[in-house]
């Protein structure tokens, strides 16, 4: 086994965190900003990329880190190593409400493809790269689903989903159509493409975007009910504008609501 063997425990329901138990000299790598707490015997170190190509020289490390930039992630990740003589623990927190999903890459034939911001942490040895869809149209119009992350190796990796998590087992030839942002990830045998919704009314007035993802089995697909982009859009839409006024449900009812809650600014 190339990857480090780590033990873990997931805590919580809606705002979860994961506790990784490391034996001496075992290492877990995580996205910058996901750290929560650790025992005294853990050493933290910032590294280029995922740390899986430690013997590839500076060019290999830069190439590995550069791929992460294409997915919008940082050049750097953080490695947590147990430098003590007994077991030590380090914990990582979910970035927003949802579920943490353990991915055993050995069970998934060494590869799992996930949304570009879904990766949370993994055992050292797991490679975190990028996965492009094959068709030009997908690349030009795919939006959130165009550039995906791929996790490769034989160890444990952990990804995060928003809202309620759904696991779908697709039979050979079975097709599932999903909003591109609602995809968490899928196994390597699943065929992925972007499809135009079609129709003038759907395109102009549907409010669901112009494209959705088609996933064709066989394989396993994870779907989330609350992608972060959708959550962020709702927060921005409800935020106060420059003049201090809020975006209201309606011009008349919104003004009445302001009076009732003590905000008399229109």
| Distance separating alpha carbons of residues 115 and 117, to the nearest angstrom | 6
In a domain, 140, yes or no: yes
Q: Which residues contact 243 (CB under 8 A, 6 or more apart)?
A: none
Reported as a single tens digit per residue, the pLDDT across 170-212 is 999 999 999 888 999 999 999 988 777 654 444 444 445 567 8
Domain count, the chain: 1
**Backbone torsions φ then ψ of 110, nearest 5 degrees:** 85, 5
Classify strands 111-114 and 147-152 as parallel, antiparallel or unpaired: antiparallel
In a domain, 80, yes or no: yes
Domain span at residue 175 reads: 7-234
> Cα–Cα distances in Å, from 135 out to 105, 132, 176?
26, 9, 18
In a domain, 129, yes or no: yes
**205 three-class SS:** helix
In a domain, 244, yes or no: no
CATH of the domain at 185: 3.60.160.10
Classify strands 27-31 and 76-82 as parallel, antiparallel or unpaired: antiparallel
Positions in the chain whose pLDDT score sits under 70: 1, 49-75, 132-146, 197-210, 241-266
In a domain, 249, yes or no: no
In a domain, 98, yes or no: yes
Residue 117: its pLDDT value, please?
83
In a domain, 264, yes or no: no
In a domain, 170, yes or no: yes
């Amino acid at each position: 086994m190339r990857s480090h063997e780590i033990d873990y425990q997931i805590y919580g329901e809606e705002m979860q965190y994961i506790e990784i138990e490391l034996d001496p000299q075992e290492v877990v790598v995580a996205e910058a900003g996901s750290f929560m707490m650790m025992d005294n015997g853990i050493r933290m170190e910032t590294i280029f990329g995922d740390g899986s190509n430690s013997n590839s020289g500076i060019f290999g490390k830069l190439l590995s880190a550069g791929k992460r930039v294409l997915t919008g992630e940082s050049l750097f990740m953080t490695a947590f190593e147990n430098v003590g003589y007994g077991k030590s623990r380090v914990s990582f927190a979910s970035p927003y409400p949802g579920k943490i999903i353990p991915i055993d890459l050995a069970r998934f034939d060494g590869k799992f493809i996930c949304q570009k911001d879904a990766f949370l942490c993994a055992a050292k040895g797991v490679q975190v790269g990028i996965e492009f869809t094959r068709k030009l149209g997908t690349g030009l119009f795919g939006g959130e689903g165009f550039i995906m992350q791929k996790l490769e190796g034989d160890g444990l990796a952990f990804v995060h989903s928003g809202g309620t998590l759904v696991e779908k087992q697709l039979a050979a030839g079975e097709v599932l159509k999903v909003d591109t942002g609602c995809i968490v990830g899928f196994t390597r045998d699943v065929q992925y493409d972007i499809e135009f919704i079609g129709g003038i009314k759907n395109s102009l007035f549907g409010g669901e975007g112009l494209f959705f993802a088609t996933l064709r089995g066989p394989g396993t697909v994870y779907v989330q009910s609350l992608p972060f982009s959708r959550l962020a859009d709702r927060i921005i839409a409800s935020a106060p504008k420059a003049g201090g006024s809020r975006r209201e449900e309606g011009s008349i009812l919104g003004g009445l609501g302001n009076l009732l809650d003590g905000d008399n600014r229109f």
